[in-house]
Every structure is written in structure tokens, then in C-alpha cells.
Amino acid sequence: MSTGKLDRKAVSTLPIPEADANVNDDVVWTSTEERLKAVWEQVLESPACITPATDFFHAGGTSLPLLSLRDKIRTQFGVELRLLDLFEASVLSSMARRIEGQIDTLDVIDWDEETRLPPSLVEMDSNMLQRISHS
């Protein structure tokens, strides 16, 4: 009887399909991306065809290799990135921009703005608090 759970050990033994060798011919790499690609290849057990658009987790990475990646980035680039930074910028080109200090503003969420209550709700909340305090 199947439990419906994913057999992670079985999945991890599946080979990652090889990409066409000519796919990378037209890709333009920054120097940081090239250096970062070499680091990814050290960390990932069987790296697939890596391009600037490759996601670390789609290339076989998990949270454990991500720890190793963070350490190697610190050593190779002299940059301290938080794990959250690496999770948020898991695509090679985005991660390279983080290393260069150019955080992609489209990926950054302004939580103060996102969670700010509309003025009408703030006023309603204030009125309710006043009624409670006068009771």
C-alpha cells in the first residue's frame, strides 16, 4: 500500500538529463557568474547544464549543499551572504548580483508597505479602541 509520500532516496538516485552541449554557446556570462558557476559545480554532486538562468534547487541543490555554497562564496568572493539571501536569489544570475551587492529590487518586498493598513481601517481601529477605553 502506497502512502503517497515521495521517496526522496529514490528520487536522488535518478540521473539529471544531460543538456545539449551547444546550448551554452550563445550565453553571455559576467565574471562573477563564471566564478559562481565554478563554485556551484564544486557543491552540486552532479551539476546539470548550468546557465545564468539556472536555479540552484532545480540543478540538484538542497538546503545542505546551500550551506556549503555559502561557505565557498565567503571563501571565494569574500562576501558574507545570509541563507535567506541565497534562498531568495537561487538563480545563478540573481545570486551573482547579490554577491556584487546589486540586490535585484524586483525581488525585494517592502513588508512595511505590504502590511500597512488602509487609512479607513486605521481610523476604524482607533475608534474601536477609544470606545473600549471609555467603557
pLDDT (tens digit per residue) in 46-103 = 777 899 999 999 998 998 999 999 999 999 998 889 999 999 999 999 999 999 985 5
Cell triple for 70? 555559502
Helix (H, G, I), strand (E, B) or coil at 10: helix
- Given a cut of 50, whether residue 106 has pLDDT beyond it is no
Report CA 95 to chain centroid distance, whole Å. 8
- Given a cut of 80, whether residue 132 has pLDDT beyond it is no
In a domain, 7, yes or no: no
Q: Is 38 left (phi over 0), alpha (psi -120 to 50) or beta?
A: alpha
Whole domain around residue 76: which residue ranges?
31-106
With contact defined as beta carbons under 8 Å apart, do 81 and 66 qualify?
A: no
Over residues 14-32, mean pLDDT: 70
In a domain, 5, yes or no: no
With contact defined as beta carbons under 8 Å apart, do 57 and 73 qualify?
A: no
Share of the chain above pLDDT 90, in %: 41
Cell triple for 26? 550563445
Helix (H, G, I), strand (E, B) or coil at 3: coil
Cell triple for 128? 474601536
Domain count, the chain: 1
In a domain, 56, yes or no: yes
In a domain, 19, yes or no: no
With contact defined as beta carbons under 8 Å apart, do 72 and 39 qualify?
A: yes
In a domain, 63, yes or no: yes
Mean pLDDT of the chain: 81
Positive or negative: CA dihedral 100, 101, 105, 109:
positive
Over residues 31-36, mean pLDDT: 94
In a domain, 77, yes or no: yes
